[in-house]
Amino acid sequence: MGTNMSRAELQLSRGKMRPLFFRYAVPGVVAMLFLAMQSIVDGIIVGRLINATALAAVNIVTPVYALVTAVAVIIGVGTQAQMGIHMGSGNYARAKVALHSGILGVAAFIIPATIFVNWFADDIVVFLGANEELLALSKDYIHGVMPLLFGVGGFLFCDYQLKALGHPRFAMIIMILTIILNIVLGIVFVKMGMGTFGVGLGLGLSFTIGLVASGSVIWWEVRHTPNLHEAKGPFSGYMLWRIAYNGSSEGLAEVSIAITMFLFNRTLMTYAGTDGVAAFTLINYILFVGVNIMFGIANGVIPIISYNFGANHGNRILGVSRLAIRSNLVVGVIMMAALWIFGRQIIGMFIDPTESHVTELAVNGARIVSLAFLFNGFNLFAASFFTAVDDAFLSLLVGAMRGLIFLVIGIFTLPYLWGVTGIWLTVPIAETVTILIVFYLAKRWERSHLGNALR
């Protein structure tokens, strides 16, 4: 262990667990809530200030945005975990290698991807299934956000590194200010008559400014952390592969969103038309809130778990894990109850009450899908936990089961049995099957590491 441990490192290795948990989990939740609020407010802006058709058009484009930013999340989370583990073990040179490799890796992908998506933007919109009614609005949105996609990806990467360096509150503040700017720009641009193009442009501009702010803080922090500043850390191809592999579960979640949204949209167009896609968009906005709270808790404590795993402090790993699991269960029960009791009022925030068919589809769908909240908090934490302890295979397996495999199986089978209801049932059934398998995997991991890291 280095002799010049920073204040953040001392807190991670020796601080009281409950205050430490809240120090990292609360900023993670707040940041994710604002990220969810950005999506929700964008939905309100588009649905209220434009129309429900524009809402469906924006949703059609979402898979492109999710696929490209997935790489930023993969490399960001993987870099965060590797930095935490190596700093915990006192190997600051490897931590510096991880940071430099992550930065170069994300830049090498995001910049060419931004160019490619903009070059083929119109063809991509058609491929994603936009019909004549949605085509122009979808193309406007993609042309607004995609030129600044490098800013979105870079900002997401930097958010994770701020937490790895022991500054979850800085990460939270920058996230909040970025989202507020996005909301303001979105409203202003729509009021100026820029439509869905303005909504996309507001997103791209605000996140690019957030990238500049968060990147500046990371640069300053590295220079003022003696052990990191003095360490030599050249780029390593092997480290980048390790980062990408270890962060693949979180990135798979982004990729899965893109794939499953594509499948859900196409299936809903078949069974319920444009109204079904609009209802699914509204449900996603609401689910995004609950999932982001749980994800904020799970991802927020990764630096605690990674650092203490590297330092071989097993009891601290178990302590923070129990706090995270219990917190996610409480959040899940509250979210499910809210959608069953106040579902109609919540849906009414997003769409004009006169569009009654969309409202009914969304209310019924939200109640069924909300059953997933009983289980997905545990599944989300399990994926983050395995990433934090550098068990990339188990993390990827959990992410694939809940976010892709069982969802794809469900969307290809359940609608044939129960129509639109079968589409909504796909999500809770996928989470239920996953938790049964994850519980077994978690118990097996704990037993095999009890005499090693968990002591």
In the chain (455 residues long), the average pLDDT of successive 10-residue segments reads: 65 83 89 76 75 76 75 88 88 90 91 82 78 77 83 90 87 91 89 86 92 91 81 86 84 71 82 80 80 89 90 86 94 92 81 72 87 91 91 89 89 89 91 93 79 47
| Identity of the residue numbered 175 | M
Measure Cα distances from 298 to 83, 154, 303, 421 in Å: 17, 22, 10, 30
The secondary structure of residue 147, as a DSSP letter, is G
The secondary structure of residue 15, as a DSSP letter, is S
Residue 302, C-beta contacts closer than 8 angstroms, at least 6 positions apart: 77, 80, 81, 84, 163, 384, 387, 388
| Number of Cβ atoms within 10 Å of the Cβ of 234 | 10
Measure Cα distances from 87 to 91, 92, 163, 388 in Å: 6, 6, 13, 13
The secondary structure of residue 231, as a DSSP letter, is S
- For residue 220, report the phi and psi dihedrals to the nearest 5 degrees: -65, -40
Q: Give start and end residues of each alpha helix (H) in 131-167.
A: 132-145, 149-164
CA dihedral sign of residues 244, 391, 73, 429: positive
**So what's the pLDDT on residue 357?**
75
- List the structure tokens of 302: 């990764």
- List the structure tokens of 43: 């939905």
Nearest CA to 224 among 178, 304, 167?
167
The secondary structure of residue 373, as a DSSP letter, is G
- List the structure tokens of 272: 């319920």
b/e code 368-391 from CB counts within 10 Å (16+ = b) = bbbbbbbbbbbbbbbbbbbbbbbb
Contact 400, 252 (CB under 8 A): yes
N-terminal to C-terminal alpha carbon distance within the chain = 18
**Distance from C-alpha of 35 to C-alpha of 29, rounded to nearest angstrom:** 10
**So what's the pLDDT on residue 453?**
45
Measure Cα distances from 380 to 158, 256, 296, 395, 400 in Å: 21, 14, 10, 10, 11
**Distance from C-alpha of 138 to C-alpha of 278, rounded to nearest angstrom:** 14
**So what's the pLDDT on residue 195?**
82
Q: What is the pTM of this model?
A: 0.79
Contact 424, 368 (CB under 8 A): yes
CA angle, 157 then 388 then 163, to 5°: 40
**So what's the pLDDT on residue 258?**
67
Contact 87, 163 (CB under 8 A): no
